[in-house]
Structure 1
Amino acid sequence: MMKNFFALIKREFGLFFADSTLRSVFLLAPIVYALLFGFVYQKGKVEHLPILVVDLDNTPLSNQLIDMLGENEKLQVVSVRKENVGTSKAMRQMNAVVAVVIPERFEASVLQKRYPELNTYINTTNLLTANMASQGVQTTLGTFSAGINMQGLKKKGMSSEQAAMQYEPFKVNYIRLYNETGNYFTYMWPGVLAVVLQQVLLLGLAVSFAREYENKTLETEFLGRSGSAFSAILIKVLPFWILSVFILAIYYAFHHIFRAPIPSPLLNYAVTTGLFIMATTFLGVFISALLPSALKATQVLMLLATPAFIIGGYSWPLEAMPIGVQWLSSILPLTPFLNAHKVMLFQHGSLADVLPSIIHMCVLVGVYGLLALITVWIKIYQMKKKTREARQAKDSA
């Protein structure tokens, strides 16, 4: 029995490496995507966003404001215009994210305490760059406004300390935790790698079963020799589990290459990642064995996997989603895995801190494992029944 089991495992590895599609999907795709997304997000911060300034005042004070905007690391003043004509067109041509319009008599109004209004036009086509540019403009304008107010108070005879206390009766300290630099690469890359791993596991299993269906070897060469439904599932998923270790080792090396946060201690990540891989492969076996059409199985698995990152609560809170979407996200292994991964990687949490996510993944492992077991058992039962009926028909003849 064990000899037959290992022979089938050897057969699976042989079929895997003989299939160019399966090799490229499972081994090449994770490396290519990891490098691609690593280089895309490597810089981590968006700096020198182009902004446009319309200066209708052209005074020392307005020029000072323009200089301050240009000194902000997030912003780059690409053009200073003297009239507010064709501003929208100019923003499109220069790919400007923000246009700041300084009104006429700006300096005079400030000095006379008439509180002039500055209009800022924000290009929200890309919300990420729009938010960063808007934050940079707000910070600069806030600093500029505070400086003017303090200068006015000092002209009335107050000292610098008194002027500061008058303008700012208390101080607020903003202390960033976990991702102190606000690095977008640090936040985004681990989630993307998990999505890629889930995709290749599901697609790899779909291709593996599709090959059996196309060659008509699922019943004759695989199920007939595997002995039981449990052995059949184990034979199918074990090569993917072993090869997943190879992919994870590459991911770990890439963390050093791109200077991303290093998962530590590795034992904690081995627990959550192992449960994630088990739940994902069992889901893949269940769908692939349930649907005899390779195309349908692939479509269903990709339909489940594609929106997993968006609805998984990693980049957008689950609480803000409809109940139906929350339910859908809860049946995908990626959701609890990313929740646990985020807490352990960024907040340095322990397994106890992510216990609800671990329980969630254990439930998914049990449910999908049971569904896969039942589905494969039915396949074996139907195969044996068909063989028995054929033998009886032959004997009757």
Structure 2
Amino acid sequence: MKEFFRLLKREFKVFLGNSTLRTVFFLAPFVYATLLGLVYKSGKVENTPVLVVDKDNTPLSRQLTEMLEDNKSIKVIRFIQEPLSIKDEVIRYEAAAVVMIPSRFEADMLQKKYPELNVYINTGNVLTANFASKALQLTIGTFSAGASIKALQKMGMPATQAATQYEPFKANYITLFNTAGNYLIFMWPAMLAVVLQQIILLAMAVSFAAEFQGETFVKEYYKMRRWAFPTMLIKVIPIWIFSILIVLMYYFMHMIFKVPMPEGVFNFTILTAVFVGSVSFMGVFVSILVPDALKATQILMVIASPAFIISGYTWPLNAMPAAVQFIANIIPLTPFLKAFKILLIQKGSVELTFPYLKHLGILLLVYLILGWIALKIKLWLIFHYVKPVNAQDDTFEEIS
């Protein structure tokens, strides 16, 4: 135990003495949390440019344009005549959509000829396209309903009856979970989890690899050569402690950006603890296998970089190929984000997170066992052929 605490104290000094690790572990989470929070601060996309080409320029077409202008989600840029290249105008104004009001729009409506209104959606950016499409459908649908009801009223039909003629039944659309469609609540907390996984893996990548590469492992860990698991703990305990500080910082950032906390703080704490444990042991395993610190870092970053994309958080996991699903399911971020979404966005029962907590627990045990096996083999390979020259174990020589 004396040797264990000596090495643990040394590990803290090595960690804090590394300027790169200090910057990545303490500064990066704050910078990313602040930057991403400011990016998604508005929560919803507003004042998205939309081009309206009013070829009719009549009171009715202008009324439609005014209704579109009243929608805060979009910003109308009006044209009386169609530009020579509508695509160029879309690019120039970064417009999310184009509304084409045809000539004789008012006349055809009055004559019940049902004119066609063409709406072109710029899907170059799917997010803004979806927001613009939703806003246009709502406004144009409201205008269409009002015009139809008004036409029936002019024919002498009472307003209440005219409404039922246009809409024989009502459909109520009730949103569940994040009812305001706030993108800050949806994306920001998930990205913080991605950052946490990245920095843990980056720190663990050099934990063993740097010792092997710098040839300090033999000298410092000779007395621990028979104790693989305690040696692993020496490397991960500082990461666990510093991760607590990062999570607490995230908590205060939640209050600053007014993002609600997940339901059940105790259960969220357990979930986060298992997540940090599984990520750290995953990093330990790779760091032991790859004795070069740079290569270990590169391998773990290659694994972690696409983790959010393939996690199923923004794109359904079941829509991905089986091979991609397999890779996603061996990365701790995937089950963590699924459980995290239940607690934060869907406000579901804690019991619903148990399958994902079990998944994380299995990953933790698997990476712990793999790391332990890899380290036992590594310890045997390193210390089987060396012995201390003096009692202080300061120098070693190979056994012939």
- After TM superposition, is the score higher than 0.5? yes
Distance between the aligned counterparts of 2:198 and 2:310, measured in 1? 15
Tell me if structure 1 keeps the 8 A contact 2:338–2:356. yes
Query: Is 1:331 aligned to 2:330, yes or no?
Result: yes
Q: In the alignment, what sits opposite 2:193? A: 194
SS in 2 for 1:343: helix
- C-alpha offsets along residues 140-192 of structure 1, whole Å, 9 cap, x if unaligned? 11111111110111112221111111111111222222201110010001110
Whole-angstrom CA distance in 2 between matches of 1:339 and 1:51: 35
Q: Which amino acid aligns with 1:70?
A: E
Amino acid at match of 2:134: Q
Could you tell me which residue of structure 2 aligns to residue 355 of structure 1? 354
CA gap of 1:372–1:133, structure 2 versus 1, over 3 A, is same
1:109 aligns to 2:90 (yes or no): no
Larger mean Cα displacement after TM superposition, 310-319 or 255-264: 255-264
CA contact (8 A) 1:223 1:232 kept: no
**Aligned-pair CA distance for 1:382:** 1.1
Cα distance in 1 between the residues matched to 2:398 and 2:186 = 65
Partner residue in 1 for 2:119:
120
2:172 paired residue number = 173
Contact 2:385 2:398 in 1 (8 A): no
CA contact (8 A) 2:202 2:297 kept: yes
Indicate the residue corresponding to 1:8 in structure 2: 7
Displacement of 1:301 in angstroms is 0.4
Q: 1:250 offset after TM fit, Å?
A: 0.2
1:119 to partner: Cα distance: 1.5
Is the contact made by 1:106 and 1:116 (CA closer than 8 Å) also made in structure 2? yes
More helix by share: 1
Q: Which shifted more, 261-270 or 324-333?
A: 261-270
Deviations 1:319-362 (A, max 9, x none): 11111111110100000000001001122233311111011111
Distance 1:321 1:222, change over 3 A: same
Asked if structure 1 preserves the Cα contact closer than 8 Å seen for 2:385 and 2:399, the reply is: no
Q: Which runs of 5+ in 1 are unaligned?
A: none
> Is the CA contact (8 Å cut-off) linking 2:260 and 2:344 kept in structure 1?
yes
Whole-angstrom distance in 2 between the partners of 1:103 and 1:351: 54
Letter in 1 for 2:297: T
> Residue type matched to 1:293 in 2?
D
- Among the aligned pairs, what percent are the same residue? 50
CA contact (8 A) 2:50 2:97 kept: yes
Question: Would the aligned equivalents of 2:60 and 2:106 in 1 still touch at CA under 8 Å?
Answer: yes
| Deviation of 1:213 (Å) | 3.0
SS of the aligned residue for 1:51 comes to: strand
Distance 1:226 1:394, change over 3 A: closer
Partner residue of 2:380?
381
Deviation at 1:73, TM superposition (A): 1.4
Q: Give the match for residue 208 of structure 2.
A: 209
Q: Quick check: 1:26–1:200 contact (8 Å CA) kept in 2?
A: yes
Q: Once the two structures are superposed, what CA deviation does each residue of 1:34-85 show, in whole Å capped at 9, x if it has no partner?
A: 1110111011000111111111111111101110111111111123232342
Show the counterpart of 2:306: 307
**1:12 partner amino acid:** E
Q: State the one-letter code of the partner of 2:48.
A: L
Letter in 2 for 1:176: T
8 Å Cα contact 1:191/1:338 also seen in 2: yes
Say whether the 8 Å CA contact 2:51–2:78 is kept in structure 1.
Answer: yes
Compare 364-373 and 206-215 and name the one that shifted more. 206-215
Q: Indicate conservation of the 8 Å contact 2:206/2:296, yes or no.
A: no
1:4/1:226 contact within 8 Å kept: no
Distance 2:397 2:113 in 1: 101
How many matched pairs?
Answer: 395
* Pairs within 5 Å for 1:52-131: 52-131=51-130
Root-mean-square deviation (Å):
1.9
Q: Which amino acid aligns with 2:94?
A: N
Q: Which amino acid aligns with 1:154?
A: Q
2:35 equivalent in structure 1 = 36
Q: Could you tell me which runs of 5 or more consecutive residues in structure 2 were left unpaired when the two chains were aligned.
A: 391-395
Q: Per the alignment, in what secondary structure is the counterpart of residue 331 of structure 2?
A: coil
* TM-score w.r.t. length of structure 1: 0.95
Q: Give the structure-2-normalised TM-score.
A: 0.95
| Secondary structure at the counterpart of residue 308 of structure 1 | coil
Task: Tell which deviates more after alignment, 232-241 or 175-184.
Answer: 175-184
2:235 pairs with 1:236: yes
Question: SS of 1:311's equivalent?
Answer: coil
| Aligned equivalent of 2:393 | none
Q: Does the Cα contact within 8 Å between 1:102 and 1:119 map onto a contact in 2? A: yes
Deviates most, 119-128 or 320-329 = 119-128
Are 1:367 and 2:366 an aligned pair?
A: yes
Q: Which secondary structure state, in structure 1, belongs to the residue aligned with residue 57 of structure 2?
A: coil
Q: Residues 13-35 of structure 1: CA distance to partner in whole angstroms, max 9, x if unpaired?
A: 00011100111111111111111
Q: Contact (CA 8 Å) 2:264, 2:343: kept in 1 or not? A: no
Amino acid at match of 1:384: F
Change beyond 3 A, Cα 1:71–1:314: same
My pick for the range that moved more, 268-277 or 201-210, is 201-210
CA distance in 1, matches of 2:398, 2:181: 73
Worse overlay, 293-302 or 239-248: 293-302
Shift of 1:394: 7.8
